[in-house]
């Protein structure tokens, strides 16, 4: 029988485990979050990060700037944060306005304070298995598998998506855990056949309910990283049916969230699966907190 992987429960366990580590530091780990512009989704993500830091008793600074800020002005803010010893982690909330040189900004963050794990130094450390900050969402997936005692070594994992933020680091972490890994993407020939080989299937493509029954091997572990907002009723009905709870929720709110996997097929065919919302999503911020505390521990004199 299929079992739900409860990301909220694991998130709470991770945060509880951090509290004694924070107490042992003798000071508050410091996180600075830089928010540019007024993107509503980014504002929600940042407020969640600020709230979680406060709940853990960490030092949090939220630095907001208008969308008109220049690349050089943003680089100056990052340089100032790099120089402050009480700041252990720096996060520049994505996406940035189009006129900003995003890569220059990310590359300017001191690698030891790069709690998103995006700096080329940390990408290199991940590739060769050295310690350092790792991207939060893939790290959260690995923590979910570990805490549910789901075997990874010797399993065939298929990652659908090759982004620098999720797909590539997800594949690398699974490889380090001794899985045999296949990375699929938009140009993969016979995607469904590749996915059906998976003991562990990870959907990270950003297309609502794209991975369906024909992509799923019965009994596989199905990890849905996608978070897609559906704003059209016909799309909701196509996935969930006219008389479903999701359709009723859409009629009430005007939108619903769905992952990259068809949730009805995943629930029926999997051994374990992550719902959307409530699966992988809660773990991203939890692992950001882990990266910040680990940075503080490494930087402790």
Q: Write out the catalytic residue numbers.
A: 49, 93, 116
Contact between 58 and 292 under an 8 Å Cβ cutoff? The reply is yes
**Count of alpha carbons within 13 Å of 3, Cβ hemisphere only?**
11
Radius of gyration of the chain (CA): 20
178: left (phi over 0), alpha (psi -120 to 50) or beta: left
Distance CA 10, CA 34 (A): 27
- 136's CB contacts (< 8 A; 6+ apart) are 115, 116, 117, 283, 284, 285, 287, 288, 291
- Cα separation, 34 vs 256, in Å, equals 28
Place of tokens 């016909």: 234
């Amino acid at each position: 029988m299929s079992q739900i992987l409860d990301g909220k429960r694991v998130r709470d366990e991770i945060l509880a485990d951090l509290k004694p580590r924070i107490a042992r530091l003798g000071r508050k780990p410091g996180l600075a979050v830089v928010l540019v512009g007024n993107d509503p989704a980014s504002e929600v993500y940042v407020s969640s990060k600020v709230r979680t830091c406060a709940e853990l008793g960490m030092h949090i600074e939220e630095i907001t700037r208008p969308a008109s800020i220049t690349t050089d002005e943003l680089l100056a803010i990052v340089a100032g944060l790099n120089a402050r010893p009480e700041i252990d982690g720096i996060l520049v909330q994505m996406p940035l306005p189009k006129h900003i040189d995003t890569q220059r900004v990310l590359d300017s963050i001191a690698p030891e304070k790069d709690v998103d794990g995006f700096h080329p130094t940390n990408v290199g450390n991940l590739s060769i298995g050295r310690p350092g900050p790792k991207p939060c969402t893939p790290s959260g997936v690995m923590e979910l598998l570990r805490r549910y005692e789901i075997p990874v070594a010797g399993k065939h994992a298929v990652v659908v998506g090759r982004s620098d933020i999720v797909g590539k680091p997800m594949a690398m972490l699974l490889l380090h855990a001794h899985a045999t890994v296949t990375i699929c993407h938009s140009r993969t020939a016979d995607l469904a056949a590749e996915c059906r080989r998976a003991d562990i299937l990870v959907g990270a493509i950003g297309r609502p309910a794209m991975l369906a029954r024909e992509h799923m091997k019965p009994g596989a572990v199905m990890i849905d990283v996608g978070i897609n907002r559906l704003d059209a009723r016909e799309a909701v009905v196509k996935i969930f049916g006219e008389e479903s709870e999701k359709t009723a929720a859409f009629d009430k709110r005007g939108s619903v969230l769905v992952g990259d996997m068809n949730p009805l097929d995943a629930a029926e065919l999997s051994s374990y699966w992550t719902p959307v919302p409530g699966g992988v999503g809660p773990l991203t911020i939890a692992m950001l907190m882990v990266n910040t505390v680990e940075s503080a521990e490494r930087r402790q004199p």
